[in-house]
Amino acid sequence: MEFNLHVQGRIDGGTVIVVRGDLDYAALDQFRTCVEQALQPPPGILYVDLQLLTFVDSTGVGALVAARHHAERAGTRLVLENPSSMLQHALRTASLLTSFGLPPA
């Protein structure tokens, strides 16, 4: 599936990145650029809506971790919305669920 991102505002002042398609090596630069742009100026919260995510590999998980670190350096909290069971499994395998504020299984 073609990868694309959509950035939108939110009523509470946060910013939302809607991810659609596969978050893998081929999408890495586009995702990184989108996160950087969404953090200018830094919103209070950066939501990453993953409802339309169709695939994630270790590169995609690494991109989410890097996005979380980038957001924290900007004084912004990154929140994963609608993570699929596939993504939760990948995060659980890497012991990253709680670092994203998701409940451990």
Q: Which helix (H) or strand (E) holds 1?
A: none
Q: Are 102 and 80 in contact (CB under 8 A)?
A: yes
**Length in residues, the chain:** 105
pLDDT of amino acid 1: 62
Tokens at residue 28, please? 């890495």
Question: Which pLDDT tens digit goes with each residue over 32-90?
Answer: 999 999 999 988 999 999 999 999 999 999 999 999 999 999 999 999 999 999 999 99
Tokens at residue 96, please? 């990253």
Write down the pTM of the prediction. 0.91
Tokens at residue 44, please? 């209070």
More confident residue, 103 or 27: 27
Residue 80: beta bridge partners? Answer: 48
| Residue 103 reports pLDDT greater than 90 | no
The CA distance from 52 to 20, in Å, is 5
